[in-house]
């Protein structure tokens, strides 16, 4: 079964700094998708960014970018110029041929 | 509707009682997921519906948990004889096709079993 591991339960940075959240996964599949979701205190899960495994180019969405290392099965999220509104739980997720599987999450706090 | 709707938003029940949680997905979305999130924890997969296919029930923690999806739209998650360890937020999500698509989440139902 596929597993997703986020090794950082909590992180805290100052506003405007850059922060990187780690994620590793275990799979024997060759075709799959990886996601980062954000869950603010409102509890509403929001998709931040998506990466297709067959694409070598790292996905970017404004201040959010990923470092996808397929051989290492690593999928980290970089948030540049962090803002107070980025404070949330961040979940890494994997989907191959079956259900979407989430990691345990990283609680990110942006301090003013 | 405009988004995934879940009801009730909060539910308090007594140990041993049955509860039903409802999810209204976005119209036209063929895939529907239920996840459970315990306090400060990650999302635990419960069940996945995709179109007319048999649901993936591999995440249901016990036979006290069941779910159905009527007419390919509304879904109900039922927990029988609730236990205190069932207390959690139950999240529903839907997507247009299912695999590798963006999921749209509801705001969840906070279940508290006393």
Is A103–B48 a contact, with Cβ atoms under 8 angstroms apart? no
Model confidence at A2: pLDDT above 90: no
Is A42–B105 a contact, with Cβ atoms under 8 angstroms apart? no
Domain count, chain A: 1
Query: What are the domain boundaries of chain B?
Result: 5-97
- State the CATH number of the domain containing residue A68: 2.60.40.10
pLDDT at B5: 95
Are the C-beta atoms of residues A83 and A105 closer than 8 Å to each other?
A: no
Residue B72 has φ and ψ, to the nearest 5°, of 70, 15
Is B45–A100 a contact, with Cβ atoms under 8 angstroms apart? yes
Which CATH architecture describes the domain B5-97? Answer: Sandwich (2.60)
Q: What is the DSSP letter of A32?
A: -
Three-class SS state of B81:
coil
Domain span including residue A35:
3-111
- Mean pLDDT to the nearest integer, A23-37: 93
pLDDT at B99: 67
CB < 8 Å to A98, chain B: 56
Higher local confidence (pLDDT), B101 or A24? A24
DSSP B17-50: --EEEEEEPPTT--EEEEEEE-TT--EEEEEEEE
**Peptide bond just before B8 cis, omega within 30 deg:** yes
Are the C-beta atoms of residues B81 and B6 closer than 8 Å to each other?
A: no
pLDDT in tens, chain B (114 residues): 579 999 999 999 999 999 999 999 999 899 999 999 988 778 999 999 988 889 999 999 999 999 999 887 999 999 999 999 999 999 999 998 766 778 899 999 999 999
- The widest CA-to-CA distance across chain B, in whole angstroms, is 38
Write out pLDDT tens, residues A61-111: 999 999 999 999 999 999 999 999 999 999 999 998 878 899 999 999 999
Say which of A32, A50, A91 has its CB closest to residue B43.
A91
What the block records as the tokens of A89 is: 């739980």
Q: What is the DSSP letter of B56?
A: B
Give dist(CA B34, CA B23) in Å, integer.
9
């Amino acid at each position: 079964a596929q597993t997703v591991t986020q090794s950082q339960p909590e992180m805290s940075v100052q506003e405007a700094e850059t922060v990187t959240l780690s994620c590793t996964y275990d799979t024997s599949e060759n075709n799959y998708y990886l996601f980062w979701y954000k869950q603010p205190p409102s509890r509403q899960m929001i998709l931040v960014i998506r990466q297709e495994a067959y694409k070598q180019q790292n996905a970017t969405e404004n201040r959010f970018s990923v470092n996808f290392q397929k051989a290492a099965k690593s999928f980290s999220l970089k948030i540049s110029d962090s803002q107070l509104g980025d404070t949330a739980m961040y979940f890494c997720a994997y989907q191959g041929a079956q259900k979407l599987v989430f990691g345990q999450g990283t609680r990110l706090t942006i301090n003013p | 509707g405009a988004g995934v709707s879940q009801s009730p938003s909060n539910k308090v029940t007594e140990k041993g009682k049955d509860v039903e949680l409802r999810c209204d997905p976005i119209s036209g979305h063929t895939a529907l997921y239920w996840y459970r999130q315990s306090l400060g924890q990650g999302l635990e997969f419960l069940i996945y519906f995709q179109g007319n296919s048999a649901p993936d029930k591999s995440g249901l923690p016990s036979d006290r948990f069941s779910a159905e999806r009527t007419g390919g739209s509304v879904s109900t998650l039922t927990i029988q004889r609730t236990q205190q360890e069932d207390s959690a937020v139950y999240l529903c999500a839907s997507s247009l096709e299912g695999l590798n698509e963006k999921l749209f989440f509801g705001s969840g139902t906070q279940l508290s079993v006393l």
